[in-house]
Amino acid sequence: EITHANLTSYVMGTVDFASADPADAALICVPPYHIAGVSAALSNLYAGRRAIYLQRFDPAAWLRLVHDEGVTNATVVPTMLDRIIAAYEKDPVELPTLRNLAYGGSKVPQPLVRRTLDLLGDVGLVNAYGLTETSSTIAVLGPDDHREAYGSDDPAIARRLGSVGRAVPGIELQIRDADGTVLGADETGELFIRGPQVSGKYTGIGSVLDAEGWFPTKDIASIDADGYLFIGGRSDDTIIRGGENIAPAEVEDALVEHPQIREVVAIGVADPEWGQAIVAVVVREDGVTEADLDADAVREFARTKLRGSRTPDHVVFRDELPSTATGKILRRVLVDELTPATAE
């Protein structure tokens, strides 16, 4: 349950009233029932920016609208960004007015971020992280952060390209271990959030905020010494193999760097020997065949990037991954499908 106060706190804390130039235009293609769609409508209205709706997403139509309508700002989810960049590579369109392109809603593979920066170098990329319960964005990796991280030889700065940035005004972040102890910089635990835009209240359940107003996100995360937030996935998705906790994101981030892999999801399925086995569900790049990339090749690549205990036990190939309309991968669907099946 999100209140008027939650939403206005988010909008007024992150947007300057009537700050848009007369020619500014925002292209909104995130569904209006999603919190990103709600916040896009409200924040652009508050800024005084013309809003253009693309009701049925199509990458070619998206590129055409940006060009024809002089779009300056746009918000997309990762699956949309992937399709936009693929369409742009096949048929480049001049986008002289586009200043800021925000993406979020789920994890974005770093190869896609780097490809977007290479192709749309003049466009400011914004990674926005948030939840429905927090009235949308609570952390932002802005355009300058993207460019600095991508061009840096300093590993500590370069790794920020995989972060979701720093907290927006009015938001506090904590990382806690399983016992509730607040952890320090670069220590991994559950992310807790506090601030006036945070609801944390559910119909039929009530508030889940603790006594001090902190909301438990169930996201595994860490915060570096400079305040950059790194999301490692949902605690519910943690793979427990042989008593060792493995974050799916660690496996996914390694495998997606393979030039012939477009998308990958790591899941845990029941296994009589290990408790859970690691299954990598892989989508090959367009034009890549089984002869080019098979399960053994994926595992061999994984061994060069990961410890042996984190190398996938099985590799399954799919033409596409199951996802919601807003781009979230349906991991539980894959778990249900593959638990009784024999993987490669």
Q: pLDDT tens, 207-264?
A: 999 999 999 999 999 999 999 999 988 888 899 999 888 989 999 999 999 999 999 9
111 and 45 housed in the same domain: yes
> What would the pLDDT profile of 93-146 be if each residue is shown by its tens digit?
999 999 999 998 888 889 999 999 999 989 999 999 999 999 999 999 999 999
Asked whether residue 37 carries a pLDDT value surpassing 60, the answer given is yes
Range of the domain at 303: 238-338
Q: Are residues 216 and 242 in the same domain?
A: no
- Answer yes or no: do 24 and 159 share one domain: yes
- pTM of the predicted model as reported, rounded to 2 decimal places: 0.87
Residue 317: closest CA among 295, 287, 292:
295
- Cα separations in angstroms, 232 against 213, 250, 299, 309: 23, 8, 21, 18
Choosing from 217, 234, 251, the residue where a domain stops is 234
Mean pLDDT (the chain) is 93
In this structure, the answer to whether residues 17 and 159 fall within a common structural domain is yes
**C-alpha span between 235 and 198 (Å, rounded):** 20
**Percentages (nearest 5) of helix, strand, coil residues in the chain:** 30, 30, 40
Q: Do residue 191 and residue 303 come from a single domain?
A: no
> Is there a single domain that holds both residue 50 and residue 191?
no
Is the same domain home to 141 and 183?
no
Tell me the CATH number at 109.
Answer: 3.40.50.12780
- How many angstroms separate the Cα of 88 from the Cα of each of 58, 115, 284? 12, 11, 19
Partners of 269 in beta bridges: 277
Nearest-angstrom CA–CA distance, 60 and 52: 16
Q: Are residues 293 and 330 in the same domain?
A: yes
Whether 219 and 257 share a structural domain: no
Domain boundary at 122, 151, 167, which? 167
